[in-house]
Amino acid sequence: MAFEELKKRLEQNGYKVSVFSTGAEAADYLADSVKGVSVGLGGSMTLKEMGVEERLQANNTVFWHWNSCADPAESLRQAMTTDVYLLSANAIAEDTGEILNIDGTGNRVASSLFGHKKVYFVAGRNKVSPDYESALWRLRNVVAPKNAQRLGRNTPCAVNGDKCYDCNSPERICNALVVFYKKIRSMDAEVILVDEDLGY
Ligand code: SF4
């Protein structure tokens, strides 16, 4: 079974863990599991590729600042207080089950820490790194530069497209790092692992 050892580690860390072969299957599961509640989504290429917003909108009130019809600032605020929050994991350390997320604005990591009844972390296989050091390297040198490029930021990583320069740019997108050693006490949390590459 894919993710067998990682699933065990994450369960030891207090999470419910669900494993799927494809993003489509994971989206079906989320659509079946999340109904009749308010839902906030963090900025996530993984969720976007899976079509999670469209699937959840059928039975829930969904707030996502990436929705082209939404007022981004208002959606960010409303997403902070929803029943359920979904985000991706930027990296997961396979040997410990530590989940790492890096953020520039702070809404996504803040919502992963407090304020909801349940949080779902969604991660494709490309988010799994052997250990903490390689997971952190991935955040700084893969995730952040690709996001900076996507957002058109004037940062050296976006301009050169190769690595993190630990810049002092006003447009820097990696301002905070959150590491979940274990599940946060105040909320239910489930990790959705997908045996496909999703997001970056
Ligand atoms: S610190 Fe600056 S250079 Fe490094 S990844 Fe973040 S935005 Fe890019």
Cα separation, 91 vs 6, whole angstroms = 12
pLDDT of residue 68: 84
Cα separation, 73 vs 76, whole angstroms = 5
Query: What confidence tens digit (pLDDT) does each residue in 27-77 have?
Result: 999 999 999 999 999 999 999 999 999 999 999 999 999 998 889 999 999
What are 171's two structure tokens?
């447009």
Query: What confidence tens digit (pLDDT) does each residue in 118-172 have?
Result: 999 999 999 999 999 999 999 999 999 999 999 999 999 999 988 999 999 999 9
Q: Does residue 137 line the site of ligand 1, with CB under 6 A?
A: no
Mean pLDDT over 86-109 rounds to 96
What are 159's two structure tokens?
């301009």
Q: Is the pLDDT of residue 85 over 70?
A: yes
- Distance of CA 102 to CAs 13, 163, 186, 192, Å? 20, 15, 21, 19
Q: Does residue 173 line the site of ligand 1, with CB under 6 A?
A: yes
Q: Does residue 123 line the site of ligand 1, with CB under 6 A?
A: no
What are 111's two structure tokens?
């919502």
Q: Is the pLDDT of residue 1 over 80?
A: no
Q: Is the pLDDT of residue 175 over 90?
A: yes
CA 142 to ligand 1 centroid distance, Å? 10
Strands (DSSP E) along 38-115, which ranges? 38-41, 61-63, 84-88, 91-93, 99-103
pLDDT of residue 69: 84
Indicate the pairing of strand 91-93 with strand 128-129.
parallel
